[in-house]
Amino acid sequence: MKAARAKTPRRPALKKPPAPGPKDPVGVYCRVRPLSRQDQECCIEVINETTVQIHPPDGYRVFRNGEYRETQYSFKEVFGTLVVQKDVFDVVAKPLVEDLIRGKNGLLFTYGVTGSGKTHTMTGSPGDGGLLPRCLDMIFNSIGPFQAKRFVFKLDDKNGVDVQCEVDALLERQKRDAMPVPKTPSGNRRQMDPEFADMINVQDHCKVDEVDEDNVYSVFVSYIEIYNNYIYDLLEEAPFELIKPKPPQSKILREDQNHNMYVTGCTEVEVKSTEEAFEVFWKGQKKRRIANTQLNRESSRSHSVFIIKLAQAPLDADGDNVLQEKEQITLSQLSLVDLAGSERTNRTKAEGNRLREAGNINQSLMTLRTCIEVLRENQMYGTNKMVPYRDSKLTHLFKNYFDGEGKVRMIVCVNPKAEDYEESLQVMRFAEMTQEVEVARPVDRPLCGLTPGRRFRNQAFREELARKLEMRGGPVNGETEEQSASEIFLQNFPPLPSCELLDLNDDQTLPKLIEVLEKRHKLRQMLSEEFAKNVLAFKTTLQEFDSSVISKENYIQGKLSEKEKTIAGQKMELERLEKKIKTLEYKIEILEKTATIYEEDKRNLQQELESKSQKLQRQASDKRRLEARLQGMVAETTMKWEKECERRVAAKQLEMQNKLWVKDEKLKQLKAIVTEPKNEKPERPSRERDREKPVQRSVSPSPVPPSSNLITQVPSSQRFVSNPQVHRRSNSCSSISVASCVMEWEQKTPSHKHTGGTSNARSRQQEPEQSRDYNTSDRRRGMCWTGVTEVPRRRDELEIEEDQCCRNAPPVRLRHRRSRSAGERWVDHKPPSNLPTDTVMQPHVPHAITVAAASEKALAKCDKYMLTHQELASDGEIETKLIKGDVFKTRGGGQAVQFTEIETLKQESPTGRKRRSSPSNPDPPEDAADSEWTDVETRCSVAVEMRAGSALGPGYQHHAQPKRRKP
């Protein structure tokens, strides 16, 4: 035994050159099983006959961006949930059985995760036989009448087959029958295991159309299991000990002379019917189940391989017996493989030993995957990488299917349930890749050279002979046939005379006998001559017939080969085109992928663009707002500066006028000195006084106010009243030169003296010195302070004068105050340019005469005056000022207004800027005061007099914020 176990000497490597003939891609089919429960989530749909679509289940995110994507996979054919076993068989397995009977090898395997229906597809379920029983049924339906007697074919232990004569086969049969336990099952359907009886109850009687009837056939089956990378023979007749079961012996793989791999010492059972074959299979199946249970193995982790071998050899020329030539025997095999579950180890929660086993199983499938990948790469890119078949028993066993020739088909089984999504995806990817691998197409075996139709002719001849013999009434049996024929033949001869010699001298009997015998001899000779002649004639006829048949055959063969050549050419063209299609499809796929990527990029860029343009729009609108605000500010500032400029110009003019006036005065004095010496002495002091005053005054009204001065001077109405240090003129006033004023004054002096001389004198006595100075200065300057008579002439003039000397002086007493016994009467001066404000507190003066412009008439009737003045505050709000004053009758009979209060009504925005002109602010900007002044100046056309030292409180300020009004 040791010698037998020794390593096989390595044969010189005679590498078979790669088959140059046509190749076929591995046929990959997909079968989708129905969901086990209706409420299960489904993730696979059959799109059409060749495409399935798989999509991630709910809540499953495939890509980082959370996109939900379906994937489509195309196969040679896709079987939906409603496709029955027969249809799968017809498409996938039938061609393999046809090939098997034509002497070609085939491999069919089912691939998928556990529970996806691999076993259901391969073996079937009770009442619904799978591919395996259907294959067996088709084989036996096809070769049934042409089967050899048992043991005519004998498999050797080197994956070869021998043929033995009928006698040897008979002897072996007898030997087996003599054995106590029958080695092969009975094959009787009635005694079959009810467990599988309905699985092989195939009704369709499928068979191969063209079976070579001049051959005899024998079927051998073997059943192995590959578990944990060990090969076990499931048909081995080893007594199984229930108490302490021995682990089964694993088998090794060898390569035969045709480079096919085989399991050494594997039991191969010759079977003569479907039932018998399936019974053998079932026996192996049972053994597998028992082993799994007893050795605590996971059945889904083993690969089971059922091998059907078909031996065939031609009949001899007579069509009677098998040709006893080994070279004429063809042995083809069909392997049906139910692969282990392709799921990853963690899915089944295998532990310890099982995990290791599972790892190995995965290793086998991984190796299968790698082999397919390398093969594909070699074929696609012309590389010559070594395919690692030897890395696992599974791939090693089927090496020659991929390397050599044969037809390989795979059924990918998938369960559409959502839990299997990831595994199914892996399965689909592998399957799609597998169909890119090509396998050399098996060639037709050569013809044996004997006349076809031998079996039929032999049969027909026998039948005919039997019929004829029957007609003659003779026995149908062959041996007695001959006897009776000779008897019949002898009966036709003349009867022999009696050859009994009666005495010694009998000279009649012998000569008579001799004569009869000679006659018979002659007859026989004649007959044999005729027979020979007939035979010759028949032979020639036969030969002629044969030669005509042969010539016809040759002709047909020629035609056939021609046609075959054309077909081969067309097939090659077809293949080329198919390859081209495949390449183009691959390209299309790549392009589609690229397009998808670009589209995604485009989408992203568009989004970016949109967000940027939005941002830009926002910025533009911001800019517009800012511009508008800036324009407003610019306009405001421009206005302010224009006013400021005007004011400065006016001040400068005043200063220049003052200087001019001083010069004039000096000139006058000089003139007086020159023209009137001595006699005008009484007026001198006054002139000198006057001359001194203007010098003083020229200082006080200094019309070029530094801005800081202004800020402190006119902060609010209170300051306006209590600290009015500003001395200014309106624009209209600026055109009047100081000199002309002096001239005017001088012209008026007589009337002054005339009309108000006494009162003037009286008042001078009454008033304090400062007050007198004040009035004098007024008079000197010819302003319209004291007489209404001047008012009409200087209607456009406004002068607010304040002298330092007047500040502490009591109010002017020169003017008459109206009696208030009849109640106060108001002149409500509202310039028409005022805008209505929506303030809640509207000023209302009862019994007032409302005027749009200052009117002397109205002033004469009233004793109170109020000017409503509006201006734009620095914060952009309208500020309304009610400038109030008392009306006095002047000595000259005119009216004078003495302003006493300023009431400010102002609106504020709750969200607006901080008011700079708020009364609490001690330093309001100069512009506010400025505009107050300028506007008052322009609007008030009557004389205004400030009551110097007025102790009136600040004007009321109404703060309201209902609306922000646009100026």
**What is the distance of C-alpha 641 from the center of its chain?**
65
Q: Assess 112 for contact with ligand ADP (CB under 6 A).
A: yes
Shortest gap between Cβ of 82 and ligand ADP (angstroms)? 9
Q: Does 657 bind Mg ion (CB under 5 A)?
A: no
Q: Does 27 bind ligand ADP (CB under 6 A)?
A: no
Binding string, residues 59-98; x marks residues near Mg ion by CB under 5 A: ----------------------------------------
Residue 120 C-beta: closest distance to ligand ADP, Å: 3
- Minimum distance from residue 274 beta carbon to ligand ADP (Å): 21
* By CB under 6 A, residue 119 contacts ligand ADP: yes
- The distance of closest approach from Cβ of residue 427 to ligand ADP in the complex, given in angstroms and rounded to an integer, is 11
Per CB under 5 A, the list member of 105, 119, 775, 890 interacting with Mg ion is 119
Rg (CA), the chain: 68
From the CB of 346, what's the least distance to ligand ADP, in Å?
17
DSSP assignment, residue 923?
S
Widest distance between CA atoms in the chain? 247
508 and 492 Cβ atoms separated by less than 8 Å? no
* 755 CB-near residues (< 8 Å, 6+ apart): 892
Q: Which stretch binds ligand ADP (CB under 6 A): 117-125, 203-211, 516-524, 802-810?
A: 117-125
Distance CA 704, CA 437 (A): 105
Residue 55 binding: pick among ligand ADP, Mg ion, none (C-beta 5-8 Å cut-off by kind): none
Distance, CA of 103 to chain centre? 51
**Whole-number Å distance between alpha carbons of 632 and 31:** 80
Of the candidate spans 115-123, 350-358, 401-409, 810-818, the one that interacts with ligand ADP by CB under 6 A turns out to be: 115-123
For position 33 contacting ligand ADP by CB under 6 A, the verdict is: yes
Least distance between ligand ADP and beta carbon 188 (Å)? 28
The interface partner of residue 333, options being Mg ion, ligand ADP, none and the CB cut-off 5 to 8 Å by kind, is none
Nearer to Mg ion, 118 or 369 (CB): 118
As a dihedral over the C-alpha atoms of residue 92, residue 94, residue 99, residue 105, rounded to 10 degrees, the angle is 50
Q: Indicate which of Mg ion, ligand ADP, none lies near residue 33 (CB less than 5 to 8 Å, by partner kind).
A: ligand ADP
CA angle 153, 159, 161 (to 5 degrees): 20
Mark the segment that binds ligand ADP (CB under 6 A) among 107-115, 200-208, 252-260, 735-743. Answer: 107-115
Q: Which is nearer to ligand ADP, 131 or 291 (CB)?
A: 131
Q: Which of 55, 106, 114, 900 binds ligand ADP (CB under 6 A)?
A: 114
Query: Which range touches ligand ADP (CB under 6 A), out of 64-72, 109-117, 747-755, 847-855?
Result: 109-117
Residue 601 C-beta: closest distance to ligand ADP, Å: 42
Could you say whether residue 116 binds ligand ADP (CB under 6 A)?
A: yes
Specify the residue, 413 or 784, whose C-beta has the smaller distance to ligand ADP. 413
- Which lies closer to ligand ADP via its Cβ, residue 43 or residue 413? 413
Per CB under 6 A, which of residues 320..339 are in contact with ligand ADP? none
**Smallest distance, Å, CB 44 to ligand ADP?**
13
Rounded to a whole number of angstroms, the minimum distance from the CB of residue 420 to ligand ADP is: 11
Q: Which is it for strands 27-32 and 77-79: parallel, antiparallel or unpaired?
A: parallel
Instruction: Report the distance separating Cα 437 and Cα 522, nearest Å.
Output: 80
Instruction: Name the DSSP letter for residue 493.
Output: S
> Is there binding between residue 34 and ligand ADP (CB under 6 A)?
yes
Q: Can you list the pairs that 346-350 forms with residues at least 24 positions away whose Cβ atoms lie under 8 Å?
A: 347/113, 347/423, 348/114, 348/298, 348/300, 350/298
Kind of pairing between the strands at 816-817 and 878-889: antiparallel
- By CB under 6 A, tell whether 300 contacts ligand ADP: yes
Closer CB to ligand ADP, 414 or 805, in the complex = 414
Residue 904 burial (10 A CB sphere; 0-12, 13-18, 19+): buried
Among Mg ion, ligand ADP, none, the one that 413 touches (CB under a kind-dependent 5 to 8 A) is ligand ADP
Please pick, from the candidates 94, 102, 104, 120, the single residue that binds ligand ADP as defined by CB under 6 A.
120
Q: Which is nearer to Mg ion, 118 or 396 (CB)?
A: 118
CA distances from 500 to 86, 246, 520, 521, 623 (A): 82, 86, 19, 20, 158
Min. distance of Cβ 80 from ligand ADP in angstroms?
9
As a three-state string, the secondary structure of 597-639 is HHHHHHHHHHHHHHHHHHHHHHHHHHHHHHHHHHHHHHHHHHH
Q: Strands 848-851 and 826-829: what pairing?
A: parallel
Q: Does residue 297 touch ligand ADP according to CB under 6 A? A: no
Q: Which range binds ligand ADP by CB under 6 A, 119-127, 205-213, 523-531, 911-919?
A: 119-127
332 binds Mg ion (CB under 5 A): no
Question: Is 413 one of the binding residues for ligand ADP (CB under 6 A)?
Answer: yes
Nearest-5° angle of CA 410, CA 416, CA 422? 85
Does 118 bind ligand ADP (CB under 6 A)? Our answer is yes
Contact between 115 and ligand ADP per CB under 6 A: yes
- CB under 8 Å to 25, separation ≥6 — which residues? 435, 436, 437, 438, 439
List, in order, residues 6 or more apart from 393 with CB less than 8 Å away: 226, 229, 230, 231, 253, 364
Selection from Mg ion, ligand ADP, none that 117 binds (CB < 5 to 8 A by kind) is ligand ADP
CB of 119 to ligand ADP, least distance (A): 3
- Token digits for 313? 């050899």
In order of 215, 234, 249, 394, 770, the CA distances from 357 in angstroms are: 46, 19, 17, 15, 127
**Cβ within 8 Å of residue 74, ≥6 positions away:** 50, 51, 432
C-alpha separations of 278 from 219, 307, 336, 531, 673 in Å: 12, 12, 13, 56, 162
d(CA 639, CA 627): 18
Q: Which residues contact 821 (CB under 8 A, 6 or more apart)?
A: none
Which CB sits closer to Mg ion, 118 or 780? 118
The span from the first CA to the last CA of the chain, in angstroms, equals 121
CB 108, CB 334: distance < 8 Å? yes
**Sequence-ordered strand ranges (E) for 706-786:** 728-729
Nearest residue to Mg ion by CB is: 119
Shortest distance, position 343 Cβ to ligand ADP, whole Å: 10
Give the pair of three-digit tokens for residue 116. 């996806």
User: Which of Mg ion, ligand ADP, none sits in contact with 116, Cβ below 5 to 8 A by type?
Assistant: ligand ADP
Residue number of the CB atom closest to ligand ADP: 117
Q: Which stretch binds ligand ADP (CB under 6 A): 118-126, 169-177, 216-224, 237-245?
A: 118-126
Nearest distance from C-beta of residue 228 to ligand ADP, angstroms: 18
Stretch of 117-125, 135-143, 610-618, 647-655 lying at the interface with Mg ion (CB under 5 A):
117-125
Only one of the segments 62-70, 116-124, 139-147, 284-292 lies at the binding site for ligand ADP (rule: CB under 6 A); that segment is 116-124
Of 108-116, 152-160, 364-372, 812-820, which part binds ligand ADP (CB under 6 A)?
108-116
Crossing angle (nearest 10°) for helices 509-675 and 683-699: 160
Q: Yes or no: say if 788 and 890 are a contact pair by the CB < 8 Å rule.
A: yes
Number of residues in contact with ligand ADP under rule CB under 6 A: 14
Nearer to ligand ADP, 103 or 341 (CB): 341
What are the residues binding ligand ADP (CB under 6 A)? 33-34, 112, 114-120, 125, 300, 341, 413
What are the residues binding Mg ion (CB under 5 A)? 118-119
